[in-house]
Amino acid sequence: MGMLSALYAGPNEVTVYDPAVFAAVDGPGNKCTKPSWYDMLQPTVALNTTRDRVEHDDRRKAWNRALNPEALRSYRSRIDRYTDLLDDYIASHVGEPISANDIFYWFTFDIMGDLAYGKSFGMLSEHKWHYAIAWMNEFMGLLGPISPVPWLARFLFHVPGVTPKWHRFMDWCQDRMKDRLTMEPNEPDVSTWLIDHVRSDGIVGKPQFDTLHGDAVTMTIAGSDTSAQTLLFIFYHLAKDSTRQNQLRQEIIHSNAQSSDASVLGDCPYLDGFINETLRVHPPVATGAIRQAGPGGIDVAGINIPEGTIIVAPRYCIARREDCFEKADQFIPERWTSAPHMAKRKEAFAPFALGRYSCVGKGLAFLQMRCLVTQLVTKYSVHFVDNTDPDACWRDLKDNFTGLPGKLDLIFKPIKV
Ligand code: HEM
C-alpha cells in the first residue's frame, strides 16, 4: 500500500488509518457510496440506511429542518424537564453509588422517545429500563460481532425466531409511530418535520409510513446510545480529575450558561473542549460508518483505492495517533482551548463524520450534554466509588457500532457555590 497507513482486511476491504481518509470518503467532491452493510434493516429503510444519494438528500432536508438551531430552541423545555428529573434522582441518592450505565441512558432515551413519539420511555420517572430498550440492547450486542459479515446479519435478522427481541423492538417502534400519527403534540417534535415531509407527497401510505418507521428506529438508537456513552465518559473524567472538575465548574458559574436561552450555551469553551476531548478519546461510533469507493476510486495520501473497495476508517485509532495529537492517549481538554499545539492534525478528529452522511443530530447531542453537565456540575461534585474499578468503563467497552461501556458507578455530593 505504498506509504498509506492501511491494512487489507478482506478481498475487497481496506482499513485506512491515515487521517486524510475522512475527507477522502466523505469530503467535498467524493463519489463514495454506502456499502451493502446498510441494507441490514431492510425492508425498513431509515435516513442513515438510504443508500441512494438522491433519495437520501431529499430525506435529509426534512431532518435538517427538524434539527436546525431554531428547532433545537423549541426542544429546550423538554430537555430541561429530563435534566430536572435526572437531577431529582441524584438528589434523592446523594452520597450513594449511582450506576452511570443507567442514568445517562435513561436521560438520552427519554429525550429521544419524547422527540420521536411525543412520549418518553418513562425511565427517569420509574427508575428502571423500559422493556423495548432492553430488547434493543440485546440486538446491539449482536451487531458488533456480526458487522464484519453483513450477509450473515441480514440472514440472522430474517430467519424467524433467531432475533425475536429485535423484531419485537421494531414492532414496538412501528406501533409508537402509528400512535404518534394520530396525535399532534403541543410543541413540534422531530417527527413533526418528518411527518410533514412525507405528507407533502400526499397521504401517509405504506411506503411513506415505512420511512417514518425506519427513522423512528434510527432516532431511538442513533440519538441515544451515542450521547449517553459520551456523558458517561465526561463524568468518568470529571471524577478522575478534581482539578479539572473544579475548573469546569468555575467556568460555568462565571458564564451565562445556566440561562434558559439555548443559544448562550455556546459560551463555555472549556466545557466544549471537555466534550470534544471525550469524543476524541472515546468516539461513540468507533469503527462504524464504512464507505465504498465510487467511480474512479478515491485518493488518500496520494494512493488510489480502486472503485468498489469497502473502506473502514476507525476513528478510535486515528484520533489516537501521536503524530496528530500530542500525548494522544491522554485526556487533555486544554488541547481544544489553551494548548492548541497539542492538536496537531485536527482532521484526525471526526466523531460525527463529515459531509452529506454526517450526523444530523450533532447540535441536539451538544445541547443535551451541555444542559446536563452545566446543571449537575454546579450542584454536585462527582467521585468514584471506593474499592471499585472505574477504569472498567473503558477497558470493558464493546464496539457494537455504537459503543457499550463497561461498568461505572459514581457518587454525587452536593456542593455550596
Ligand atoms: C455524541 C453524540 C453523537 C455522535 C458521536 C454521533 C455520530 C454519528 C456518526 C459517526 C454518524 C455517521 C454514521 C454512518 O455514516 O453510518 C451519525 C449519523 C447520524 N446521526 Fe448521529 N451521533 C450522535 C448523536 C446523534 C443524535 C442526538 C441524533 C438525533 C436524532 C443523531 C442522529 C443521526 C442520524 C439520523 C444520522 C444519519 C445521518 C444521515 O445519514 O444523513 N445522532 N452520527
Bridging pattern class, strands 6-10 and 13-16? antiparallel
Nearest to 380 by CA among 412, 346, 339, 340: 412
Note the pLDDT tens digit of each residue in 8-47: 777 799 999 999 999 999 999 888 999 988 887 787 889 9
Q: Is the pLDDT of residue 234 over 50?
A: yes
Asked whether residue 300 is domain-assigned, the answer is yes
Residue 359 annotated as part of some ligand binding site = yes
Using most ligand atoms within 8 A of CB, pick from 215, 226, 280, 316 the residue to mutate for ligand 1: 226
Distances (CA, A) of 325 to 240, 310, 339, 345: 21, 27, 11, 7
pLDDT of residue 362: 97
Give the residue-averaged pLDDT of 87-102. Answer: 98
Asked whether residue 161 is domain-assigned, the answer is yes
Asked whether residue 1 is domain-assigned, the answer is no
Measure the N-to-C terminal CA separation of the chain; round to a whole number of Å. 57
Higher pLDDT pick, 349 / 2 = 349
Higher pLDDT pick, 167 / 340 = 340
Task: Determine the Cα–Cα distance for residues 411 and 417; give it in Å rounded to an integer.
Answer: 18
Nearest to 228 by CA among 278, 170, 288, 166: 278
**Most confident listed range (48-52, 98-102, 129-133, 398-402):** 98-102
For ligand 1, the distance from its centroid to the CA atom of residue 283, given in whole angstroms, is 12
Asked whether residue 322 is domain-assigned, the answer is yes
For ligand 1, the distance from its centroid to the CA atom of residue 358, given in whole angstroms, is 7
Task: Determine the Cα–Cα distance for residues 95 and 340; give it in Å rounded to an integer.
Answer: 37
Using most ligand atoms within 8 A of CB, pick from 359, 369, 371, 400 the residue to mutate for ligand 1: 359
Reported confidence tier of residue 266, pLDDT bands at 50, 70, 90: low
Cell numbers 446491539 label which residue? Answer: 140
What CATH number does residue 406 fall under?
A: 1.10.630.10
Q: Is the CB of 228 under 6 A from ligand 1?
A: no
Lowest mean pLDDT segment, chosen from 94-108, 148-162, 184-198, 324-338? 148-162
Write the burial class of residue 65 (CB in 10 Å: 0-12 exposed, 13-18 middle, 19+ buried).
Answer: middle
- Into how many domains does the chain fold? 1
Instruction: Report whether the peptide linkage leading into residue 185 is cis, meaning its omega lies within 30 degrees of zero.
Output: no
Express as a percent the part of the chain with pLDDT over 70. Answer: 96
For ligand 1, the distance from its centroid to the CA atom of residue 112, given in whole angstroms, is 13
Cell numbers 476507525 label which residue? Answer: 314
Reported confidence tier of residue 1, pLDDT bands at 50, 70, 90: very low
DSSP single-letter state for residue 262? G
| Paired strand residues for 312 | 15
Cell representation of residue 325 = 495529537
Q: Is the CB of 311 under 6 A from ligand 1?
A: no
Reported confidence tier of residue 88, pLDDT bands at 50, 70, 90: very high
Asked whether residue 378 is domain-assigned, the answer is yes
Give the residue-averaged pLDDT of 300-308. Answer: 93
Q: Is the pLDDT of residue 348 over 90?
A: yes
Q: Is the CB of 35 under 6 A from ligand 1?
A: no
Nearest-CA residue for ligand 1 atom 6 is 352
Within its chain, how far is the Cα of 80 from the centroid?
Answer: 19
Note the pLDDT tens digit of each residue in 65-83: 999 999 999 999 999 999 9
CB of 382 closer than 8 Å to CB of 238: yes
Cell representation of residue 270 = 472549556
Q: Is the CB of 239 under 6 A from ligand 1?
A: no
For ligand 1, the distance from its centroid to the CA atom of residue 140, given in whole angstroms, is 16
Give the residue-averaged pLDDT of 258-276. Answer: 77
Range of the structural domain that residue 118 is part of: 6-414
Nearest-CA residue for ligand 1 atom 11 is 359
Nearest-CA residue for ligand 1 atom 27 is 223
pLDDT of residue 144: 73
Pick the atom of ligand 1 nearest to 365's CA.
27
Nearest-CA residue for ligand 1 atom 37 is 48
Three-state secondary structure of 276-307:
HHHHHHCCCCCCCCCEECCCCCEEECCEEECC
Asked whether residue 103 is domain-assigned, the answer is yes
CB of 326 closer than 8 Å to CB of 335: yes
Nearest to 404 by CA among 394, 414, 412, 389: 394
E strands, 77-182, are: 98-99
pLDDT of residue 39: 86
Nearest-CA residue for ligand 1 atom 3 is 226
Bridging pattern class, strands 303-305 and 398-400? unpaired
Task: Determine the Cα–Cα distance for residues 233 and 279; give it in Å rounded to an integer.
Answer: 9
E strands, 61-191, are: 98-99
Give the residue-averaged pLDDT of 347-356. Answer: 96
Asked whether residue 42 is domain-assigned, the answer is yes
φ/ψ of 178, rounded to 5, equals: -60, -45
